[in-house]
Amino acid sequence: MKILITGVAGFIGFSLAIQLLKKKHKIYGIDNFDKYYSVSLKKRRVNLLNKNKKFNFSKLDINNKKKLNNFFKKKKIDIIINLAAQAGVRYSLINPTKYIDVNILGFLNLVEEAKINKIKKFIYASSSSVYGENKNFPLKENEKLNPKNIYAVSKKLNEEIAEMHQKIDKINFVGLRFFTIFGEWGRPDMFMMKLFKAHMTKKIFYINNFGNHERDFTYIGDAVKAVEKIIKKRFNKHEVFNICSNNPINIYDVVRNFNKAHKVKFKLIEMHKADIMKTHGSNKKLTNYGLGLNYSEFYKKFYQTFEWYKKNKIYKL
Ligand SMILES: NC(=O)c1ccc[n+]([C@@H]2O[C@H](COP(=O)([O-])OP(=O)(O)OC[C@H]3O[C@@H](n4cnc5c(N)ncnc54)[C@H](O)[C@@H]3O)[C@@H](O)[C@H]2O)c1
């Protein structure tokens, strides 16, 4: 089975590739090394993957229709896992058009290739952001969606495009609504890596929304195991799953816990316009489909991630 992971130099793409390579799958990875965050970090990830003979990397932009078409002609892919995207909710207020270019037009280019090449399964990243400010916790997949920023709009549209193409072209789509994924090789623009960096470089850490945010932190190891199970399972229609631990944690509590042994100067600031107050998803649907997991304990993985961060001197990248 030839599996394509787009955005393979990214946090989740890289981690999923590592997991699938352990299981001896043949993995094709593409990424354009976008400059949104440290390209050195992305290159470190790909260099690690390149050590495995079953991994094949191509520097490729999903917005480049012609090159993408040639790639598919040559590689004869069976499954697409689309994790290439412009991520991040706050940056969507600064550069909204990029979200449309990559997350919508890039996605459509892949859908086109899936049609031409009769792809068996098309798994794609959505996001917990599609729910917006909804207090019906824990949020189930059938809740009404209410996106609050362009990033969330782009993910909701991905789901709608998938739903439509499943019906018209019989492509088997599965959407993954990731909830604040964290862990080794995590994204430097997200809360945890920013906290570690502030500690290591003795800079001020700004806590948004005066510390009142709650996030359903989900360990990367658990997230990739869920995706692995989804790859193996057959579905009769377009399905969307929350990838979450069903365990919301207050951001300020995390900072205070960390600060006991690892001093960090912090400042409370007001809520960012693009942010959501609280995320908390239900992971019952996965369990109901026989895809349940034992989720990791948050603080164990939090400190494990910090040890990895220090050891690999990620703050220098
Ligand atoms: N990490 C999370 O907590 C989280 C939460 C919700 C949703 N998601 C979604 O999951 C997916 C993966 O997220 P991530 O955290 O790994 O992000 P990431 O930014 O680390 O990875 C995305 C990768 O896509 C690549 N990319 C961007 N534009 C591209 C293009 N035009 N062509 C080819 N490659 C391109 C980037 O270079 C990057 O390596 C994204 O769709 C993201 O929106 C992530």
d(CA 29, CA 14) in angstroms, rounded, equals 9
- Measured CA to CA in angstroms, residue 299 lies from 48, 170, 315 at distances of 27, 43, 21
- Dmax (CA) for the chain in angstroms is 56
Percent of the chain whose pLDDT exceeds 70: 100
Measured in degrees and rounded to the nearest 5, phi and psi for residue 100 equal: -75, -45
44 falls within a domain: yes
Indicate the average pLDDT of the chain.
97
d(CA 103, CA 97) in angstroms, rounded, equals 10
Nearest CA-CA partner of 15 in 190, 193, 220, 179: 220
Our answer on whether the CB atom of 7 is closer than 6 Å to any ligand 1 atom is yes
- CA–centroid distance, 44 to ligand 1, in Å, is 16
Quick: pLDDT tens for 19-68. 999 999 999 999 999 999 999 999 999 999 999 999 999 999 999 999 99
160 falls within a domain: yes
Which pLDDT does position 91 carry in this prediction?
96
312 falls within a domain: no
223 falls within a domain: yes
The residue to mutate among 15, 181, 245, having the most atoms of ligand 1 within 8 angstroms of its beta carbon, is: 181
Domain encompassing residue 286: 2-185+216-247+279-301
314 falls within a domain: no
Our answer on whether the CB atom of 127 is closer than 6 Å to any ligand 1 atom is yes
How many domains does one find in the chain?
A: 1
Which pLDDT does position 88 carry in this prediction?
94
Measured in degrees and rounded to the nearest 5, phi and psi for residue 29 equal: -120, 140
Q: Are 314 and 40 in contact (CB under 8 A)?
A: no
Quick: pLDDT tens for 145-193. 999 999 999 999 999 999 999 999 999 999 999 999 999 999 999 999 9
- CA–centroid distance, 143 to ligand 1, in Å, is 24
203 falls within a domain: no
Quick: pLDDT tens for 224-277. 999 999 999 999 999 999 999 999 999 999 999 999 999 999 999 999 999 999
- Measured CA to CA in angstroms, residue 307 lies from 40, 109, 126, 238, 242 at distances of 20, 40, 30, 39, 28
Q: Whose CA is nearest to atom 5 of ligand 1?
A: 178
Our answer on whether the CB atom of 42 is closer than 6 Å to any ligand 1 atom is yes
155 falls within a domain: yes
Quick: pLDDT tens for 73-117. 999 999 999 999 999 999 999 999 999 999 999 999 999 999 999
Q: Whose CA is nearest to atom 11 of ligand 1?
A: 83
Q: Whose CA is nearest to atom 9 of ligand 1?
A: 125
Name every residue whose Cβ is closer than 8 Å to that of residue 261 and which is 6 or more positions away in sequence.
Answer: none
Name every residue whose Cβ is closer than 8 Å to that of residue 195 and which is 6 or more positions away in sequence.
Answer: 205, 254, 255, 258, 264
Question: Can you give the pTM of this predicted structure?
Answer: 0.98
Query: Is-catalytic flag, 151?
Result: yes
Q: Whose CA is nearest to atom 35 of ligand 1?
A: 84
Q: Return the exposure string of 107-140: e unless at least 16 CB atoms fall within 10 Å of the residue's CB, then b.
A: bbbbbbbbeebebebbbbbbbbbbbbebeebbbe
The CATH number for 150's domain is 3.40.50.720
Which pLDDT does position 258 carry in this prediction?
98
316 falls within a domain: no
